[in-house]
């Protein structure tokens, strides 16, 4: 399938701008539905670009603290309507997995199949433990610049990068999202993802790597969805970026 280059754009919503990347095939295939990619917290949709010869990604940074995961879903719903995406597949990574699950639960007629990678299927007790660590703005800008080093160390350890230059652009995204990270994580760890997944009617695909930090939580899908499918991918916590080949083939 021939493709154009990935394009960047903004869409205005009542809560602020949605920054997204889009790609359209040069050959239209009516048998295929579009896919809306939802990325993890503190990162832009840039890491999806290796897959975007066929797919689409979005991200947003609200002006005020959002009340819940549903806020993000409703914001992206405005974008989907603007682009005429009446029915779509979804791929959600980490925070995006929470969004994709909630979207499929709230608007089942719009979603053909959700694919999730690294779902935070946590109990209330586990969510409270995550909040104690992940809601802290560890890289708040300071005059001495130590927040640069803290951001690099956080990003490097999380991703297990072989080449520092590969991490560099994503580390900058984490730096810029020092406030947005806490906002999004507060919604993720207040979201009853298990309850939402129980409401999803269509089959779901799990593409969480065995070495991913959320693998143990992803395994809980078998107790929630009897019709879910598990695909085999690698890439640690960066499955869509570090294992593009297998991720794309499983889709």
- Six token digits for residue 191: 């979201």
| Residue in 6, 53, 20, 48 with CA at minimum distance from that of residue 235 | 48
Residue 159, SS3 per DSSP = helix
The overall longest dimension of the chain from CA atoms, in Å, is 56
Predicted confidence at residue 60, as pLDDT, reads 54
- Helix/strand/coil percentages in the chain, nearest 5: 45, 15, 40
Each residue's pLDDT expressed in tens, for the chain with a length of 251 residues: 344 678 888 999 988 899 898 877 666 667 777 888 889 887 888 888 877 654 443 445 566 777 899 999 999 999 899 889 888 999 999 999 999 999 999 999 999 999 999 999 999 999 999 998 888 888 888 999 999 999 999 888 877 788 889 899 888 888 888 888 888 999 999 999 999 999 999 999 999 999 999 999 999 999 999 889 999 999 999 999 999 999 999 99
Predicted confidence at residue 27, as pLDDT, reads 60
**Residue 242, H or E segment:** helix 239-242
Predicted confidence at residue 58, as pLDDT, reads 47
Fold topology of 7-121+192-250: Rossmann fold (3.40.50)
> Distance between CA 50 and CA 218 in Å, rounded?
24
Pairing of strands 229-230, 205-206: parallel
CA distances from 89 to 32, 33, 53, 125, 231 (A): 10, 7, 15, 32, 16
Predicted confidence at residue 3, as pLDDT, reads 44
Q: Where do we find the tokens 């794309």? A: 248
> Distance between CA 197 and CA 22 in Å, rounded?
27
Predicted confidence at residue 145, as pLDDT, reads 93
Nearest 5°: phi and psi at 190?
-115, 0
**Residue 182, H or E segment:** helix 178-188
Q: What is the pLDDT of residues 219-239, one digit of tens each?
A: 999 999 988 999 999 999 999
Question: Where are the chain's structural domains?
Answer: 7-121+192-250
- Six token digits for residue 141: 């800008």
CA distances from 203 to 26, 114, 116, 174 (A): 29, 7, 11, 33
- Six token digits for residue 85: 């995406």
């Amino acid at each position: 399938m021939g493709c154009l280059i990935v394009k960047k754009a903004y869409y205005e919503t009542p809560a602020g701008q949605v920054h997204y990347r889009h790609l359209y095939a040069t050959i239209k295939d009516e048998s295929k539905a579009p896919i809306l990619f939802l990325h993890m917290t503190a990162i832009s949709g840039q890491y999806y670009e290796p897959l975007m010869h066929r797919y689409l990604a979005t991200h947003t940074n609200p002006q005020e603290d959002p009340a819940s995961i549903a806020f993000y879903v409703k914001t992206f719903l405005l974008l989907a309507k603007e682009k005429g995406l009446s029915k779509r597949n979804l791929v959600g990574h980490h925070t995006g997995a929470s969004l994709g699950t909630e979207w499929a639960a709230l608007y089942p007629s719009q979603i053909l199949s959700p694919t999730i990678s690294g779902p935070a299927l946590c109990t209330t007790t586990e969510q409270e433990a995550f909040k104690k660590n992940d809601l802290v703005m560890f890289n708040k800008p300071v005059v001495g610049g130590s927040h640069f080093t803290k951001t690099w160390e956080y990003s490097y350890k999380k991703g297990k990068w072989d080449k520092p230059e590969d991490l560099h652009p994503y580390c900058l995204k984490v730096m810029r999202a020092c406030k947005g990270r806490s906002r999004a994580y507060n919604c993720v760890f207040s979201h009853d993802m298990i309850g939402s997944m129980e409401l999803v009617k269509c089959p779901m695909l799990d593409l969480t790597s065995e070495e991913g930090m959320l693998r143990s939580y992803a395994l809980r899908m078998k107790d929630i969805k009897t019709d879910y499918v598990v695909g085999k991918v690698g890439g640690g916590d960066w499955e869509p970026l570090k294992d593009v080949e297998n991720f794309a083939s499983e889709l």
